[in-house]
């Protein structure tokens, strides 16, 4: 079977579900501070399901608001623009791809892992004084390329899962062996197609290779969070291996053992609540 080329993946992107236009706008403007908040609130409010999910998240104990927010405008007022943008993105992306397209692929476990990584990224980012909202979104989207491959090439991806289980190997290696391409390549193709910001593209591109030149702090945060979440087995996937961890990325965050134990505990607490809200 021939290896997948980038062109094969890009051709299939047109067939993928598209995010609501307002979410596409948010993802491409994540590096900009000067968005018009009232315009954003109005656009999001046209999508009732997205609004309901976003407000459920905004009112969760995660954000500890003293008041109940009932509109997107209120959420922005009390939580700030970046955090609200973050919640809207999470609400939209988790509902975007159809489940059950590939029998060997566990959609629920995929999202549990992505949400757990997002929660862990947020906790790590706070400790290293990095933007928590960027970190959360990057954690949520880091493996989005797997959904691209599952949606576009379900039969091939089923073979990937079979190869992984038979050879007890990492998903990335199984993808290379079976498809000749991987979810990083597919994730970047989608990031281009959906016009993600450069910040998000870098995090997706380097989350398995944070030591590469130009990878940046966000890639290190996502890389470490990804490994922690696998080690804590929050996705509930019995066949999952803990990926190789870059000692450079681990030490670059400058956290001691006690700090990491706090990170583990906070991640587990936040994860349960966010999962219920996004997947319930």
Instruction: Report in angstroms the alpha-carbon separations of 218 from 28, 44, 58, 203.
Output: 17, 27, 24, 6
Positions in the chain short of pLDDT 70: 1, 30-35, 239, 280
Residue-wise pLDDT for 45-77, tens only, equals 888 888 998 999 899 887 888 899 999 989 988
138, 222 in Cβ contact below 8 A? Answer: yes
Who's near 50: CB < 8 A, 6+ residues apart?
A: 20, 23, 44, 88, 91, 92, 95
The pLDDT, as a whole number, for residue 96 is: 84
The pLDDT, as a whole number, for residue 181 is: 92
Question: What are the sequence ranges of the domains in the chain?
Answer: 1-17+99-280, 18-96
Q: Where are the alpha helices (DSSP H) in the chain?
A: 6-13, 21-28, 37-45, 48-58, 72-79, 81-93, 107-127, 132-141, 144-152, 154-167, 171-179, 183-193, 198-206, 216-232, 247-252, 257-279
Distance CA 32, CA 197 (A): 9
Residue 67: Cβ within 10 Å count: 9
Residue-wise pLDDT for 7-26, tens only, equals 888 888 888 877 888 888 87
Phi, psi of 112 (to 5 degrees): -60, -45
Who's near 32: CB < 8 A, 6+ residues apart?
A: none
Q: pTM (2 decimals)?
A: 0.90
Q: How many Cα atoms within 13 Å fall on the side-chain side of residue 107?
A: 17
Per DSSP, 23 falls in state H
Distance CA 208, CA 224 (A): 9
87, 63 in Cβ contact below 8 A? Answer: no
CATH match of 1-17+99-280 with 1.10.3210.10 = yes
């Amino acid at each position: 079977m021939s290896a997948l080329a980038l062109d094969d993946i890009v051709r299939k992107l047109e067939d993928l579900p598209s995010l609501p236009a307002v979410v596409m706008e948010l993802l491409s403007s994540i590096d900009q501070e000067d968005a018009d908040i009232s315009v954003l609130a109005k656009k999001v409010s046209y999508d009732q399901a997205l609004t309901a999910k976003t407000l459920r998240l905004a009112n969760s104990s995660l954000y500890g608001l003293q008041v109940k927010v009932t509109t997107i405008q209120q959420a922005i007022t009390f939580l700030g623009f970046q955090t609200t943008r973050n919640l809207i993105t999470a609400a939209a992306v988790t509902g975007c791809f159809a489940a059950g397209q590939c029998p060997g692929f566990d959609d629920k476990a995929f999202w549990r892992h992505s949400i757990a990584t997002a929660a862990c990224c947020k906790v790590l980012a706070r400790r290293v004084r990095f933007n928590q909202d960027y970190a959360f979104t990057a954690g949520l989207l880091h493996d989005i390329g797997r959904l691209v491959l599952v949606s576009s090439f379900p039969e091939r991806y089923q073979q990937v899962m079979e190869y992984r289980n038979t050879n007890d190997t990492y998903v990335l290696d199984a993808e290379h062996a079976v498809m000749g391409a991987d979810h990083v390549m597919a994730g970047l193709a989608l990031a281009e197609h959906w016009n993600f910001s450069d910040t998000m593209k870098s995090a997706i591109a380097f989350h398995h290779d944070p030591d590469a030149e130009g990878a940046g702090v966000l890639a290190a945060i996502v890389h470490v969070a990804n490994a922690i979440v696998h080690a804590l087995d929050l996705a509930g996937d019995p066949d999952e291996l803990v990926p190789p961890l870059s000692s450079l990325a681990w030490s670059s965050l400058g956290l001691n053992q006690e700090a990491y134990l706090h990170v583990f505990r906070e991640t587990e607490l936040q994860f349960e609540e966010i999962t219920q809200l996004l997947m319930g």
